[in-house]
Amino acid sequence: MTEHAAVHGDLLPRDLFARRTVFVTGGGSGINFGIAQAFARHGAAVAICGRSPERLDGARVALEALGGKVFARTADVRDAGQLKAAIDGAGETLGDIGVLVCGAAGNFLSPAETLSPNGFRTVVDIDLCGSFNAARLAFDQLKRSRGSVVFITAPMAHMAHAYQAHVGAAKAGVEMLMKNLALEWGPFGIRSNSVVPGLVGDTEGLRRISAPGDHARYLDHIPLRRMGLVEDVAQAAVFLASPLATYITGTSLAVDGGQGLPGSAFFNANGADLLAANPRA
Ligand code: COA
Ligand code: NAP
């Protein structure tokens, strides 16, 4: 059994999301594309949006090869008009959206003191305002389908990371938005949760904040001693949207191999040194 199969296997029924429409913002690449594929493998009709038509076309072809219906429309999540056309179009073509995944995001490393106001605003606009736009515009469909929203956030939402002030602020906002929607939309039967990926190998997000040579060093700080796989995150998104999670709302699910356990890395190294110097007789 490969690591992929061992970790993920196709353990859930193939028709788990049959007759369900899943809309993934930023679904043309990386983790979000992996999420779209996972839902498609479990019978969903899948809709994706993003800014690059070429990227969306490639993703659409790959998703169609999995056998289900696919809808792809270029839309910038910051542009409510474009996003409304995509979300309405998906609902009209595939049926009401039953699962919305808000994954579109932007990132780069920048010291706060040199980051321009527009640079900060751009990331907040894409990640936070874009997530609100998608949820707000899909509300009527989610209400009819008694659906759920899964936000893709990041460890920076929960712990300060240097050169990520813009991302921390944006993703922390998404976490709070997730909780507010759980509170306000629960009575409509709509659940709202987030997945918090750690460091996911071979993704654009990781390339933007690290050099490939750094990855071996990261492993010492990840209790499970491996980088995340796209499928790790996809599996969590599928779980949160599935009937296995019908009473789960307002929850952040870390999929990070334990990386986010605050302070554990330096504390544990220090503790090991202390124990080595003063072993208990
Ligand atoms: N460091 C500092 N500032 C940066 C930057 C960097 N590496 N990259 C962009 N910016 C600033 C720009 O200078 C600009 O500010 P200014 O007008 O004051 O000069 C502002 O951010 C907007 O840049 P622009 O390139 O016009 O934005 P965009 O809307 O075309 O692209 C980004 C958005 C910047 C987030 C771009 O990196 C992107 O499209 N990312 C999507 C993919 C991605 O990030 N994937 C990982 C997901 S975690
Ligand atoms: P990615 O491949 O760059 O995914 C981002 C996607 O969002 C792209 O398809 C991009 O497509 C789309 N997008 C960006 N700006 C958009 C906009 N304004 N409107 C619509 N779509 C937009 O990067 P990734 O690493 O897989 O990241 C996916 C998600 O996981 C993000 O939410 C990220 O914050 C989160 N995450 C990643 C990691 C990691 O290790 N990679 C860790 C924690 C969290 P276009 O450019 O074509 O628009």
Q: Would you kindly state where each structural domain of the chain is located, as residue ranges? A: 13-277
CA 26–ligand 2 middle distance (angstroms): 6
Beta bridge partners, 70, equal 46
Name the residue with the closest Cα to ligand 1, atom 33: 106
pLDDT at 2: 42
Q: 202 in ligand 2 pocket by Cβ < 6 Å? A: no
**Cβ contact 236:255 at 8 Å:** yes
Q: Which residues have a Cβ under 8 Å from the Cβ of 198 and sit 6 or more positions away?
A: 155, 222, 227, 228, 254, 255, 256, 257, 259, 260
Q: 34 in ligand 2 pocket by Cβ < 6 Å? A: no
The 8-class DSSP code of residue 228 comes to B
Atom nearest to 27 CA in ligand 2: 9
> What gap in Å lies between CA 50 and CA 28, rounded to an integer?
6
The tens place of each residue's pLDDT in the chain, 281 residues long, gives 344 444 555 689 999 999 999 999 999 999 999 999 999 999 999 999 999 999 999 999 999 999 999 999 999 999 999 999 999 999 999 999 999 999 999 999 999 999 999 999 999 999 999 999 999 999 999 999 999 999 999 999 999 999 999 999 999 999 999 999 999 999 999 999 999 999 999 999 999 999 888 888 889 889 999 999 999 999 999 999 999 999 999 999 999 999 998 777 677 778 878 889 988 85
Atom nearest to 116 CA in ligand 1: 18
152 half-sphere exposure, CB direction, 13 A CA radius: 33
CATH T-level fold of 13-277: Rossmann fold (3.40.50)
pLDDT at 157: 98
Q: 51 in ligand 2 pocket by Cβ < 6 Å? A: yes
CB atoms within 10 A of CB 276: 8
